[in-house]
Amino acid sequence: MEKTWKSPIGLGREFWGRGLATQALNRMLDLVVDRPIFARAATDNIGSIRVLQKCGFRIIGKNKDFANGRGEDTEEYILRLDLDRAN
């Protein structure tokens, strides 16, 4: 059976640009060893996309789905992290 979980990341604007989200995600990825891991980020959310990419995720597709935080359908990238974060 495939495991699914959601972990929305949100930081107040005053904390942006300090590397906190990248650091937190990297620590979580050290603990969660199952791969691949998939992520989604709104196409206009450059900060979240950058955090995911810095942690080794690669964009593998595009989708439109309902975003709870926005309350509407949103264009999003689908990203994947494989066993080797460099791939």
The string of pLDDT tens digits covering residues 70-86 is 899 999 999 999 987 65
Q: Is 70 left (phi over 0), alpha (psi -120 to 50) or beta?
A: alpha
The Cβ of residue 70 has, within 10 Å, a number of other Cβ atoms equal to 9
pLDDT digits over 60-73, tens only?
999 999 988 889 99
Place of tokens 């942690």: 55
* Average pLDDT for 17-29: 93
Instruction: Please give the pLDDT value at position 87.
Output: 45
- Could you tell me the pTM of the whole model? 0.84
Which of residues 37 and 69 earns the better pLDDT score? 37
